[in-house]
Structure 1
Amino acid sequence: MKAQPLLPAAFKRRRGPRVAVLALVLCSLLVPFAFLFDRAPSGYVTTEERHRQEVVLPSLDHVEKRGSPGAISGRRQDAPEKKIPRGSAGAIHQHVPEKRISKGSEGVIHQHKQIDSHSTSGGAKPKVLPTPKVEPSKAVAESTRETREISKDIQGRQKGAKADEVEKAKACQLEFGSYCLWSIEHKEVMKDSIVKRLKDQLFVARSYYPSIAKLQGHEALTQEMKQNIQEHERVLSVSTVDADLPSFINKRMEQMERTIARSKSCTVDCKNVDRKLRQILDMTEDEAHFHMKQSAFLYNLGAQTLQKSHHCLNMRLTLEYFKSYSLDSDDSLSGKFNNPKYMHYVILSKNVLAASVVINSTVSSCKEPDNLAFHILTDAQNFYAMKHWFARNSYKNAVIHVINYEAIILEKLPKYNILQLYLPEEFRVLIRSIKQPTENTRMEYLSLFSHSHFLIPEIFKYLNKVVLLDDDVVVQRDLSFLWNIDMGDKVNGAVKFCGLKLGQMRNVLGKAAYDPKSCAWMSGVNLINLDKWREHNVTENYLLLMKKFKFKDERSLRAAAFPLSLLSFQHLIYPLDEKLTLAGLGYDYGIDEEVARRASSLHYNGNMKPWLELGIPDYKKYWRRFLVRGDRFMDECNVNP
């Protein structure tokens, strides 16, 4: 009876191996299912993986002909067979490559996946063919031929583009999206490429020079490199654009290339070269940071150049005009506008307040305001605001004629293509000393006539003489004496600016004939003899010169006003007294207040106009004196310059 418990104990002892056997059987059944679920669909690659995936070409010893399993797996047939999971990226990188390409050849990857899917799809085992023996040179040729066949359709779409350029374009699209391709298609031609190449050569030469100078037996190379660096510095100190470069610059660049090549062939301390290049990199980063800050400031400047209060004033005046007047109203003083006996002033402006200050200051400074007639040329957008403003405000007994420039050109002068009103153009000029190019550099704002100025004789056919005033001018003295000046055969009475000669602007003036010793001149206050203008055919000569300049866009058209104004009035400038106009109040902080008070007129040329928040505070008071106060619309729009 005591031996009966032995049976359950034995049964318990045999239960452990049975459980282990059942567990092994269950695992053996689950392993194939796990292997099947682990396999991804063939030919499917997620978007995130495309940016990071890299295709590695095997070395020449492992190159197999396409179509064999060995070529797909990247190993030889005689090697021991080893199973690699399809999704294992590390398995691809086990064969260390000698050459890499980026994930740009999408067609190559897709075809590899198709072959792999055919070889693994279905239950049939693929037939393994013997690997043909291929020479390394033949393998390279075979691989190149296959790559060309794959990119053949891409080359057709790119109209004969090279294969490497197509691959770069596809890699560009995969890495950065369609914007990258757009930037390549719309890439602009780099301006002044020779100057930029000179700077690159200078950077490289400077990085190698300290290391070459320390080497023994390379004194000739050191002297040659030093001389080339000095010559490059001398050329770049006087040349900022390709047009300023001398004719022998190509020889200098070739000499520098040979010198740099010889320097690279020498055994130098790489740490010194690396340190110098890092210094240049730091300087470039600092410069880029500076330009980023400058662009932010200029963006703020652009936002403040058109204030909401000024826009509000124009809109309110326009609305009030249509509420108060009829469009076909006649001016009873229209007879004075064509009478040559009056002193006629012409102003081109789109700013109501600026034009008002110019007229108010001129009238307030004149002893006989009854003889003054003002003609304001403005665009269609500001025409009704201007008209209503000067109808509401009187300026003693002076008459004011507001003209819609765009309408008068379309109605009376349709043969001219200058339909848009262009205000006087201002150009920032950097002037360097010829003796000391790197020192004594100063900046000037040169104001000149725009394209619209050349149509003034056609618009005012019944007048003989006018005075042109810019809308950023404040008149402090009586200008009636200008009508008593006999300019002889000259056309344009202007203040000359001999700090800039025409010979210094050969890159801007082009191949036109000009006197290099002639001085530039400035607009602001200009006495124009319209009879002599018509006699010398200034407008026709201007149109002929205009055809020689190529205009790509609006910006280049406006920039052409610089050479056209200087060349059109060459030998036709009558020099006025320099005390007539004091320029620079829109950018120069160093003007003495006593000099400003004694000047006959003040010209706020520059970016800091007196009606803007950016205006120089010390000079704003001369402009504010003649500003109309107490106007209802100014108070409602919070206009307080």
Structure 2
Amino acid sequence: MKGYSAAPAKRRWTCFSVTVPVVVFLSLVGTVSVLLGLHTRFPSGYFTDDISVMENSFPGSIHVDDVEATRISQKHESRVSDLMDKFTPSLPKAVTNNITSNAHGSNHNVTTNPRNLDRRSPSQPKVITSQSKPGSSDSKGLPIKQVSASTATRGTDQARGSSSKGSTDDAIEKPCQLVFGSYCLWSIENKEAMKDEVVKRLKDQLFVARAYYPSIAKLKGEEKLSREMKQNIQEHERMLSDAISDADLPSFVQKKIEKMDQTIGKAKSCTVECSNVDKKFRQLLDMTEDEAHFHMKQSAFLYHLGVQTMPKSHHCLSMRLTVEYFRAPPGDIQQSHAHKLDNPSYRHYVIVSRNILALSVVINSTVTNAEETENIVFNVLTDDQNYYAMKLWFARNSYKEAVVHVLNIKDLKFSYPYDLGLVQLSPSEEFRVSIHDNGESSTFQMRTEYISVFGHSHFLLPEIFKHLKKVVVLDDDVLVQRDLSPLWNIDLQKKVNGAPQFCGVRLGQLKSYLGTGQSVNSCVWMSGVNVVDLQRWRELDVTGIYQKFLRKFHNGSETSWRAAALPASLLTFQDLIFPLDSSWVLSGLGHDYGVDADTVKNAAALHYNGNMKPWLDLGIPKYKKYWKKFRVQGEEFMDQCNVH
């Protein structure tokens, strides 16, 4: 039994001793083949360019046959297609087509500028485009072929080219204007060419380096690269903290740019979690967009603040004139013309204003273009703050034979106890309204218009000028270019207000402001140049009608008191407007950049309605030249207050 049992044991040991060397040999052969790439190509997931680079770094690698290469290439294309399908909803169609075509047939591999990923106007809905970024990846961590910036730009330009120029303007400028008002138009008109390219380049490098740094810092064995990138980021930040323009940069800035380019190139060659880089890019992009939108809103606010407040130089002029008035009061020149002030046989103009310069231009332009000036009387209604400054101004400056009569609304006595603050000075009110553009094919297109109407003070004119039968009311943002005397011969046909009509806005489009009950197809009327029949006004008690509407729209606040002027004025004169010929007044010079030069020259009066008044730095330059011609020159106080 012992002999029988020993024999099998010996055979088992012999078999085992033969098997072990075979296994060891095969394992060594397998390891060597893997290292040398003999079993197949490198793992799929890289594009052709990336494979070539890796194969060239291993001289001992061997290519597989064409059939295998074709199979792998098809697999790569399939991955690209799946990836593009994944990102298609957030990519523009033209850009998507270019990316797909480049991934299938092009070998371009240029990094995309991160600042070009999302160019949109501030008012457009925020869309984060999923364009390929350097080092981005799909959900499986596979590198994505990068898209050249020029290719993406060409695709976008082709998409834009398919639409008309007008539609592009509607899609970009109009929504922007709805959000930020005419500031958008002004910013486009005053846009300057980009300067300081080196500073811009530093910011771009810093943007990319910050996106890669968190991922590089987590890699083992890349501590040196991580320190190098951190040092470069700090140096860029230090230079940008001390420099606003290229002239502020140190002389060695070009070396720093080259050093950062090399560092970013090393970071791109590392195998990192591309989703982290993509996430960081998106985070930085969102922060940049939010910051840009914040600055846009802030700029628009400051723009409107500059529009609605008196410039410092104008305020200085008013104060200096007031002080000078009390230092050396001028003689009361109005006493010598007292017989003209209440005489209805003279041509009386009425202007309600607080602005001395604007007022002087209106009067000067009217007198300059008038054939006869000895029968002209200007009745200026202002508040007590500007009353003495205006008294001195018109005592120092004469306008041919015309008489300027300045009245302080606080000094006037009214027989009727007006309520709702009508005795406070309220010049013509101007409103910016946004309405649907019926001329556009899309109902979502909006446009913005500026409507100016009488202020509350205008409805006191029949009682202030009790002996006058007819007056011409001018706004202080009007410039006269022709003789206005024919206006006095117009038959108003028992209407009260001869006014220019603006049919770009209908009453039906303002039903949210006016309510219901008015003729929806009637055009709105505009202040600026108005012929008012005061005698007919008194017969119909237009002021009483206005007060009823004012009570309806006024809720007690200062804001609603001013806002109520729009619906109350439009509804009060709904059936009492006599439309003036369109050649008398040209409106829109305070907001519309597209008015033809010939049209401007042929108009009898120019109305600068809108935010960009001609006496402001924000005014439209090509229209300001008409206004400057009639501004007083050589005035001592204007030079002292730097009024230019």
Which one of 424, 429, 432 corresponds to residue 428 of structure 1? 432
- 1:615: which partner in 2? 619
| Post-superposition CA distance 1:600-627 (Å, at most 9, x none) | 1101111111111111111111001111
- 2:230: which partner in 1? none
- 2:396: which partner in 1? 392
With structure 2 as the length reference, what TM-score do the two structures score?
Answer: 0.54
Is residue 511 of structure 2 the alignment partner of residue 506 of structure 1?
A: yes
How far the C-alpha of 1:288 sits from its partner, in A, is 8.2
| Post-superposition CA distance 1:84-116 (Å, at most 9, x none) | xxxxxxxxxxxxxxxxxxxxxxxxxxxxxxxxx
- 1:494: which partner in 2? 499
How far the C-alpha of 1:419 sits from its partner, in A, is 2.6
Secondary structure in 1 aligned to 2:609? coil
- Cα distance change, pair 573–621 in 1 and its aligned pair in 2 (3 A): same
| Post-superposition CA distance 1:473-493 (Å, at most 9, x none) | 000000100111111110110
How far the C-alpha of 1:519 sits from its partner, in A, is 1.2
Is residue 452 of structure 2 the alignment partner of residue 463 of structure 1?
A: no
- 1:293: which partner in 2? 296
How far the C-alpha of 1:560 sits from its partner, in A, is 0.8
- 1:14: which partner in 2? none
Asked if the contact 2:550/2:565 (under 8 Å) is kept, the reply is no
Separation in 2, partners of 1:412, 1:324: 34
Separation in 2, partners of 1:462, 1:343: 13
Identity %: 53
- 1:562: which partner in 2? 566
- Cα distance change, pair 579–476 in 1 and its aligned pair in 2 (3 A): same
With structure 1 as the length reference, what TM-score do the two structures score?
Answer: 0.54
Which one of 365, 381, 385 corresponds to residue 369 of structure 2? 365
Is residue 500 of structure 2 the alignment partner of residue 484 of structure 1?
A: no
Asked if the contact 2:325/2:389 (under 8 Å) is kept, the reply is yes
Separation in 2, partners of 1:284, 1:442: 30
How far the C-alpha of 1:437 sits from its partner, in A, is 4.4
- Cα distance change, pair 509–301 in 1 and its aligned pair in 2 (3 A): closer
How far the C-alpha of 1:466 sits from its partner, in A, is 0.4
- 1:582: which partner in 2? 586
What does 1:492-571 correspond to in 2, within 5 Å?
Answer: 492-511=497-516, 513-571=517-575
How far the C-alpha of 1:326 sits from its partner, in A, is 7.2
- Cα distance change, pair 558–284 in 1 and its aligned pair in 2 (3 A): farther
How many residue pairs get matched? 371
Asked if the contact 2:507/2:524 (under 8 Å) is kept, the reply is yes
Secondary structure in 2 aligned to 1:455? helix
The gaps in structure 2 that reach 5 residues or longer are 1-124, 127-174, 179-277
Secondary structure in 2 aligned to 1:578? coil
Amino acid corresponding to residue 431 of structure 1 in structure 2: I
Amino acid corresponding to residue 465 of structure 2 in structure 1: F
Separation in 2, partners of 1:438, 1:631: 53
How far the C-alpha of 1:505 sits from its partner, in A, is 1.4
Amino acid corresponding to residue 541 of structure 2 in structure 1: N
How far the C-alpha of 1:456 sits from its partner, in A, is 0.9
| Post-superposition CA distance 1:56-79 (Å, at most 9, x none) | xxxxxxxxxxxxxxxxxxxxxxxx
Amino acid corresponding to residue 478 of structure 1 in structure 2: D
- 1:22: which partner in 2? none
Is residue 408 of structure 2 the alignment partner of residue 404 of structure 1?
A: yes
Amino acid corresponding to residue 302 of structure 1 in structure 2: L
Is residue 334 of structure 2 the alignment partner of residue 323 of structure 1?
A: no
Is residue 595 of structure 2 the alignment partner of residue 591 of structure 1?
A: yes
Separation in 2, partners of 1:330, 1:400: 8
| Post-superposition CA distance 1:418-461 (Å, at most 9, x none) | 23211111111223234744455322111111111111111111
Secondary structure in 1 aligned to 2:532? strand
Separation in 2, partners of 1:328, 1:475: 28
The gaps in structure 1 that reach 5 residues or longer are 1-201, 204-236, 241-274
Separation in 2, partners of 1:582, 1:287: 40
- 1:343: which partner in 2? 347
- 1:573: which partner in 2? 577
How far the C-alpha of 1:366 sits from its partner, in A, is 0.5
Separation in 1, partners of 2:326, 2:416: 27
Separation in 2, partners of 1:360, 1:327: 22
- 2:266: which partner in 1? none
- 2:455: which partner in 1? 450
Secondary structure in 2 aligned to 1:474? strand
How far the C-alpha of 1:594 sits from its partner, in A, is 1.6
- 1:118: which partner in 2? none
